[in-house]
Structure 1
Amino acid sequence: MRLPSRPLHAAALATAGALLTGCFAATGQDPGGDGGRIRVAMMNPPRSGLSPLSDDAFKLSRWSTAETLVTLDADGDPRPALATSWRQAGRTWTFTVREGVTFHDGSPLTAGAVAHSLTRAANASPKPRILDGVDLRATASGRTVAVTTAAPDPLVPQRLSSPQLSILSAKAYRGRTVSPVGTGTGAFRLIEVDGTSSATLDRYDGYWGTKAKAPGIDVTFVPDGTARAAALRSGEADIVEAIPVSQAALLDPGLITEVPMPRTNTLYLNTAEGPFKDPGLRAAARRAVDAEAIAESVYEGRADVARGLLGPALPWAAALRSEPKRTGPERAGAKRAGAAGPDGAAVTIGTFTDRAELPEVAQTLQQQLRRAGFRVTLEVRQYAHIEADALAGRFDAFILSRATVLDSGDPAAYLYSDFASRGSFNIAQLADPAVDKALDKAAATTAGDARRRAVMAAEAAVLATDAAIPMVHERVVQGDAARVVGAAHDPRERLLVTPATYVR
C-alpha cells in the first residue's frame, strides 16, 4: 500500500499560485463602517445550491446570513435567537417569536413564517439530518409557534438551533427548491452565488440585532488546502478556514488559531467476531496504542491526546469524567493477554483516504501493534468505497475521525449511534446491556447538568468495554490576517464572520 507523502513541493506551490489568480476581489473601503469587505477562503464549495436543508446550511450560519429560533452557548445549552422564550408541555414545545425582525426581502418575521420553514424541513425528502427519526409538526398562533413531536423530546430547543432549520421567508421556497438568496434574517444579506466558485453578501442595515461593522463579505471556495494557505500568506484573503496541518508550520504563527473540534480520531474494535471478540486482546490493543506519538508525529503537535471520547471542545467533559470500571471478565482477560501477549494474532485495520492524516495514523498504529505482538494488515480506500464494509463488521478494527457533537450540539446522539446495540453507526458491533442502559438514560434525561453527567457515565460504560480506543482530538486551524478583528473561532463551526467582525 502506498501512503500519501507530506512534503510540500515547489510544484504544489506553483499550483496554489495558479489557483489563486483572480480568485479574490479587491477590498473596498466603507466610509461608514470599520474597514473594507471581508474576503473569505472556504474549503468546501456548495453541494446543494446552498439549500439550508443540507450541510450547506453551515455556510449560511458561518456568514451570519441565515438564523435559527435558538442558538447554543459554549456548554451546548439553548439560548434565545429568533425565539425569545420557550416552554414544554408533554410532547409540545411553544416558542415565542421575536418581534421587530424582517427578512432580507423586507417581509416581517411572523409565527406563520417560522411554522412554514419548519414544516418544509420536516416534510423534506430527504429530511435534514437533525430530524432523522423525529416526527415534527409546527403550528402558528399569534406570536407563538407550537412544535409537537411524536414522543416527548427533551432536545427540541437544541434541535432547532441547527443551521439546517434556519428560518427563511416564504420567497425562499419554490417547488422542491429552497434558496437563501435575499431571504434570511441575519446581519449579512446573501446577494449572489456563482455556482461552486464564490458568493457575495452585503451588510443588511435592517438587521434586528447589532449592525454589522463590515460592509460585506466576498467568499471564494478553494478546495485545495495549499492554495488556501497561500491566500493567507500572500494577503489575498482575510479569513481562511481549515488550513491543513502540513501547511500551518509554513505560516506566521500570529496569523493562525487552533480551535479544538468536537471530533475524535478513534480506533474502533470489532467486538462481535475476529480476534477482538476477546476482551483480553482488546485490552492489549489499548495498552499498545501510543496516542502521544500519533499526536506528535502525524498531527505535528496540533492535536490533543484523548483522555476519553469527548474532548476539549466540550469544556464540561473533563471535569465530569471518571475512570471506566472494567468488569471482572474483562480484567481477567486483560491480565491473560498481558501475560501471554497477542501471540501473533492477525488483525486487519481499515481506514480511508478522504482525511489526509488517517492513512498515516494507520501506518503508525500498525507499527505500534506489531511491537505488541499483533500481525497487522492495513486496508485503505476512499470513504465512499469502504463505509459499507466497516458498518458490516468486515474489519477487525477501523480508524475513524468522528464528530462527537452532531447537529443538536448534544453528544448523546453520537454515543447512541456508535455504541448502542441498535445504533445505526455501530462499527464496533457492540451489544452490551450495561452500555445500552447508560445510553438510554442519557437520551431520556432533561438537558442541562443532569444530562451531561449521564452522558459522561455512558462514555465510561463504553470505554469499559474497550470497543473503542480514543486517540486524539482534532483541531481546526483557522487563518486570520493581521488586520482582521473579531473573527469567530467556533469549535462547532457554526460561526465565522459575525456582526463584530471587520478588517482595519
Structure 2
Amino acid sequence: MHHHKALPGAALASAAVLLMTACFPAAEEEAADGRISVAMMQPPRSGLTPLSDDAFKLSRWSTAETLVVLDEAGDPQPGLATDWTQVDATTWTFTVREGVTFHDGTELTADTAAHALSFAAQAAPKPRILDGVELEVDAEGDTLTVTTADEDPLVPQRLSSPQLSILAESAYDGDAVDPVGTGSGPFEIVEVNGTTSARLDRFDDYWGEPAQAAGIDVSFVPDGTARAAALRTGEADIVESVPTSQAALLEEDTLTEVPMPRTNTLYLNTEQGPFTDHGTRAAVRDAIDAQALVDGVYEGRADVAEGLLGPAIPWAAERPERTDPVEAADPDGTPITLATFTDRAELPEVATVLEQQLEDAGFEVEQVVREYANIEEDALAGEFDAFILSRATVLDSGDPAAYMTSDFSCDGSFNIAQLCDEDVDAALEEAGSAPTGEERRAAILAAEAAILDTDAALPMLHERVLQGDATHVVGSAKDPRERLLITPQTHLDR
C-alpha cells in the first residue's frame, strides 16, 4: 500500500504564507491602481499557446478572443465575427468584424483570421477541438470561408473554443504561438514569468466595452491551501477552485458554488496491463463507492455520477438505463498503479479513499501523485493502469460530442484510457454528424452508453467548483464552462 504523510496544520500554514509572499504583489500597490490580483490553480503547461489547454487562461483573462462566443444556453453568438451563414453541408462563411485592433497595433482582417485558423488546423498535434475535423480556411474581402471535409453542424461552436483564438500574425513564429502582446481583448499580456506569474494591462484601444480595471496580476498557485489563504489574508482578490476542505475557514460571502459540467472520472488503461481484461475493469467498477467520495472528500459539495454527463447538462438525465453490464472478475491481488495530480486539491484525497476501496476489493494499489504539468505526458502515453481526472465535458465547443471524441475515439488526442472500440467510434461518428437539437442530444447519450459499456471510464462524481472573490470584487464571471473570469465589467470597489 502506498501512503502519504500529512503535514501538521502549522506546517501547512507556513507553507501557504511562503507561497503567498513569493507569488503575490504587495496589497498596497494593487489597491493604489485598481489592479486585480488573481490566484490561478494551474500554471501554464505549454507557454500559454492557445493551441493547448492554456487557451482557457487567455480567455479567462479576456486577452484573446474568438470569432464566435457562446451564450449561457451554449448557443453561438457574434464575437470577432458579426454573422455567419451555412452555404451548404460543408461550407460556412463568416463576416469578420471591422475596427478591431490587436495589441501589437495591427488590424483584424479576414486574412488575419484565416492565418490563425489555418495555423491551428495544420498544427501537430492539433488543438483538441479539431479532433476528427479536417478544415480549410480562405479569405476574401471581409469574408472568411470555412470548408470541412465532412458535414459538421458544430462549426460555429467549434470556432468559439479558446483554442481557436485569433491572434495577430506576429504571434506565429515557426511552430510556436506567443500571445504576449498579440491578442485583441480588453487586457493585454505584457509580462509572463514562466510558471510563476503573469501581468496584464488594460488595452485602451479595445474595440468593445473598455475594461474598468487597470490590469490583472496573475499568480499561479497549484497548492489549494495557499490559494485559500491568499483570499483570507487579502493577498488575492479572486481565487480559482477553493478546496472544499478550506471553505469553512473563509467568510461565506466570499465563496460562490458553481455547478460544473465537470466529471471526476477514473480512466482505465485498456491497451496494456491488467485492464485489457473487461472483467477486471468491471471489478473496479463494482468496487467504487462514489457516495463515500462525495460525503468524505467533497463534504457534500458534489453529486454522485450517473454517467459521464452531469446535472449541469439537464438533458443528460434522459439517458437510458444501463443493462447487462459485464460481470466482474476476482482481482485476486492484481497489482495496479493509480495516478492523479495535485493541482485540484481534492484529487489526492480521492486517490487515497479509492485506493482503500480497491484494496478492499482485492487489488494491490500503488499511487503516483504529481503536479499535472509533470504527469500529463505519462498519462496520455498510457504509463499508468488507472488515472483519476477531473474533466470538463463541454469545455471545448459547448457540446459533449467533442469531449467524447477527444477522450474515447481511436484517434482521440486525449485518450488516457487508450480506448479503441468499433462500437464506440461508430456511436461517436453518429453523434458528431447529427443535427443540433433533440436528435443530436439523443445521439450523444447513445455514445455515452457505448463508452460506459466498455468500463474504460468510470464516472464517479460531478464537481461543484468553489470560486473565491473578496468582498470588494465586482463583476467577476462565475462560468460553468470555465472560459470567463475577468471581464470588462470586473473591478474593485474598496
The TM-score bracket by the shorter chain reads: 0.7 to 0.9
Tell me how far 1:237 sits from its aligned partner: 1.1
User: d(CA) in 2 for partners of 1:85 and 1:192?
Assistant: 34
Structure 2 Cα separation of the partners of residues 432 and 178 of structure 1: 36
Q: CA deviation at 1:97?
A: 0.9
Question: What secondary structure is seen at the aligned counterpart in 1 of 2:341?
Answer: coil
The counterpart of 2:483, out of the listed 484, 487, 494, is: 494
Q: Is 1:108 matched with 2:97?
A: no
- 1:387 & 1:145 partners in 2: Cα distance? 35
Report what 2:25 is aligned to.
24
Give the Å deviation of 1:364. 2.9
Q: Does 1:298 align with 2:297?
A: yes
Shift of 1:83: 0.8
When the two structures are superposed, what TM-score results if normalisation uses the length of structure 2? 0.86
Change (3 A) 1:155 1:392: same
Query: Partners in 2 of 1:175 and 1:159 — Cα distance?
Result: 24
Gaps of 5+ in 1: 31-35
Alpha-carbon distance between aligned partners in 2 of 1:129 and 1:390, rounded to the nearest angstrom: 13
Shift of 1:111: 1.0
Amino acid at match of 2:154: L
Larger C-alpha radius of gyration, 1 or 2? 1
The corresponding residue for 1:453 is 442
1:18–1:165 Cα change, 3 Å: same
One-letter identity of the residue aligned with 2:460? M
Structure 1 residue 61 corresponds to structure 2 residue 66: no
2: CA distance, partners of 1:301 / 1:98: 46
The verdict on how the C-alpha distance between 1:278 and 1:393 changes in structure 2, with shifts beyond 3 A counting, is farther
Which AA in structure 1 matches 2:484?
A: L
More deviation, 345-354/109-118: 345-354
CA-CA distance at 1:369 after TM superposition: 5.2
1:460 is paired with a residue of what secondary structure? Answer: helix
Tell me the amino acid that sits aligned with residue 56 of structure 2. F
Distance 1:11 1:461, change over 3 A: same
Matched positions, count? 482
Distance 1:388 1:7, change over 3 A: closer
Aligned-pair CA distance for 1:239: 0.5
Matched, 1:136 2:139: no
In structure 2, distance between residues paired with 1:193 and 1:389: 27
Q: In structure 2, the residue corresponding to 1:21 is in which secondary structure? A: helix
The aligned amino acid for 2:85 is: R
Change over 3 Å in CA distance of 1:39–1:392 after alignment to 2: closer
CA contact (8 A) 1:420 1:439 kept: yes
Q: For 1:249, what is the secondary structure of its paired residue?
A: helix
Shift of the 16–357 alpha-carbon distance from structure 1 to 2, 3 Å rule, reads closer
* Whole-Å separation in 2 of the counterparts to 1:317 and 1:178: 37
Corresponding residue for residue 378 of structure 1? 365
Q: Secondary structure at the match of 2:249?
A: coil
Deviations 1:229-279 (A, max 9, x none): 221111121111122333333222221223233332224467789689466
What is the alpha-carbon distance in structure 2 between the residues aligned to residue 186 and residue 51 of structure 1?
Answer: 16
Q: Does 2:459 correspond to 1:470?
A: yes
User: Relative to 1, partners in 2 of residues 1:6 and 1:458: Cα closer, same or farther, differing over 3 Å?
Assistant: farther
Q: Would the alpha carbon gap of residues 123 and 303 (structure 1) be closer, same or farther in structure 2, given more than 3 Å must change? A: same
401 and 197 in structure 1: CA distance in 2 versus 1, 3 angstrom threshold: closer
Partner residue of 2:44? 46
**Could you tell me which residue of structure 1 aligns to residue 69 of structure 2?**
71
- Following the alignment from structure 1 to structure 2, what is the Cα–Cα distance between the partners of residues 101 and 296? 49
Residue 366 of structure 1 and its aligned partner are, at CA, apart by 4.7
Deviation for aligned residue 1:17: 1.5
2:263 maps to which residue? 264
8 Å CA contact retained: 1:289, 1:365: yes
Question: In 1, distance between residues paired with 2:38 and 2:382?
Answer: 40
Note if contact 2:339-2:351 (Cα within 8 Å) is conserved in structure 1: no
Unaligned runs of at least 5 residues, structure 2: none
Identity level (%): 61
Change (3 A) 1:5 1:74: farther
| Contact 2:278 2:454 (8 Å CA) reproduced | no
1:189 maps to a residue whose letter is E
Matches within 5 A, 1:34-433: 36-88=34-86, 89-268=88-267, 277=277, 286-318=285-317, 320-324=318-322, 326-327=323-324, 330=325, 345-355=332-342, 356-368=345-357, 374-382=361-369, 395=385, 399-420=388-409, 425=415, 427=417, 429=419, 431=421, 433=423
SS in 2 for 1:258: strand
Q: Aligned to 1:479, which of 468, 476, 488?
A: 468
The secondary structure found in structure 1 opposite 2:446 is helix
Q: CA RMSD in A?
A: 3.2
> Offset of 1:472 from its aligned partner?
0.8
In the TM superposition, what is the alpha-carbon distance from 1:454 to its structure 2 partner?
1.4
For the structure 1 residues 275 and 478, does the alpha-carbon distance in structure 2 shift closer, same or farther, using more than 3 Å as the test?
closer
> What is the distance in 1 between the residues matched to 2:463 and 2:435?
29
The structure-2 alpha-carbon separation of the partners of 1:77 and 1:419, relative to structure 1 and needing over 3 Å to count, comes to: same
When residues 114 and 7 of structure 1 are mapped into structure 2, their CA distance, relative to the original with a 3 A threshold, is same
Shift of 1:343: 6.1
Amino acid at match of 1:322: P
